[in-house]
């Protein structure tokens, strides 16, 4: 069972994979990986998708189902969405925006304190990734030719973000305030139909 939980985590962080890719990542035989995937499929946690692979038969990819994604919890998502709806209907969008801004500033102070122990941009980014991972975002920092890609493989406040997309705008603004020595832009967006959220980070070059 532990191997199956690790496979779910792998598919959550890497996206759709073939059985062979799962086997290599998990140090399993192809047969062993396929057996685990089939059992997960029987439990309704993964689904199969055949994709064109040039000439010959399509390649078979395995990915999380909705139930599989649900294994990675949203923090009190349903209750939060209900409270947002009630706040909006009772006090209006302006009051909701005020609440989101207050939350953003509160979190900003916490992050600034956690990042204060480092000066270099890459070190501060690493501390932010650790903080976001502790909060349930399954974050990682990928090096790119022009900088980094900050990836969040899971959104623990997804229900709240769906009910109020100001949370997404707030997140980007928060990162921009935390790193005035970098250009930060959204590269991928979960609510835009992609499997995760990601931010492209390029250091400012001071002449």
pLDDT digits (tens, 9 = 90+) for 136-158: 899 999 999 889 999 999 888 77
Q: According to the model, what pLDDT value does residue 38 have?
A: 92
CA distances from 25 to 6, 21, 34, 83, 88 (A): 10, 6, 13, 41, 46
Ranking 2-6, 128-132, 155-159, 173-177 by mean pLDDT, the lowest is 155-159
Q: Contact at 8 Å (CB) between 203 and 181? A: yes
Q: According to the model, what pLDDT value does residue 199 have?
A: 96
**Total number of residues shown for the chain:** 207
Q: Contact at 8 Å (CB) between 46 and 130? A: no
Report whether pLDDT(96) > 80: no
Provide mean pLDDT across the span 52-76: 79
Give DSSP secondary structure letters for 118-185.
--SHHHHHHHHHHHHHHTT--EEEEEETTEEEEEES--TTHHHHHH-THHHHHHHHHHHHH-TTEEEE
Q: Which class for 158: exposed (0-12), middle (13-18), buried (19 or more C-beta within 10 A)? A: buried
Residue predicted with more confidence, 85 or 135:
135
Alpha carbon of residue 178 to chain centroid: 19
Percent of the chain scoring above 90 in pLDDT: 36
Q: According to the model, what pLDDT value does residue 207 have?
A: 45
Distance in angstroms (rounded) separating the CA atoms of residues 88 and 99: 11
Tell me 48's DSSP state: E
Residue predicted with more confidence, 12 or 1:
12
Q: Which residue shows structure tokens 């509160």?
A: 106
Q: Contact at 8 Å (CB) between 140 and 201? A: no
pTM metric for this prediction: 0.71
Report whether pLDDT(1) > 60: no
pLDDT in tens, 159-204: 666 666 767 778 888 899 999 999 999 999 988 888 899 999 999 8
* Total Cβ atoms within 10 A of residue 180: 8
Where do the domains of the chain lie, and which CATH numbers do they carry?
Answer: 2-69 (1.10.10.10), 77-203 (3.30.1380)
Report whether pLDDT(79) > 80: no
């Amino acid at each position: 069972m532990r191997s199956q939980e690790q496979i779910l985590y792998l598919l959550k962080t890497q996206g759709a994979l073939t059985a062979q890719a799962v086997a290599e990542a998990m140090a399993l035989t192809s047969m062993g990986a396929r057996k685990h995937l089939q059992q997960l499929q029987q439990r309704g946690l993964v689904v199969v998708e055949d994709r064109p692979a040039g000439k010959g038969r399509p390649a078979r990819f395995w990915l999380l189902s909705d139930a599989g994604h649900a294994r990675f919890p949203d923090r009190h998502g349903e209750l939060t969405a209900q409270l947002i709806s009630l706040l909006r209907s009772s006090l209006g969008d302006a009051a909701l925006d005020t609440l989101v801004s207050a939350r953003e500033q509160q979190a900003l102070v916490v992050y600034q304190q956690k990042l204060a122990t480092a000066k270099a941009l890459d070190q501060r980014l690493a501390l932010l990734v650790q903080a976001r991972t502790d909060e349930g975002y399954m974050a990682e920092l990928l090096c790119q030719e022009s900088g980094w890609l900050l990836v969040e493989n899971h959104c623990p406040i997804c229900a709240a973000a769906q009910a109020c997309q100001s949370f997404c705008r707030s997140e980007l603004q928060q990162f921009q305030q935390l790193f005035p020595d970098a250009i930060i832009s959204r590269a991928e967006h979960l609510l835009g139909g992609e499997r995760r959220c990601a931010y492209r980070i390029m250091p400012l070059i001071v002449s």
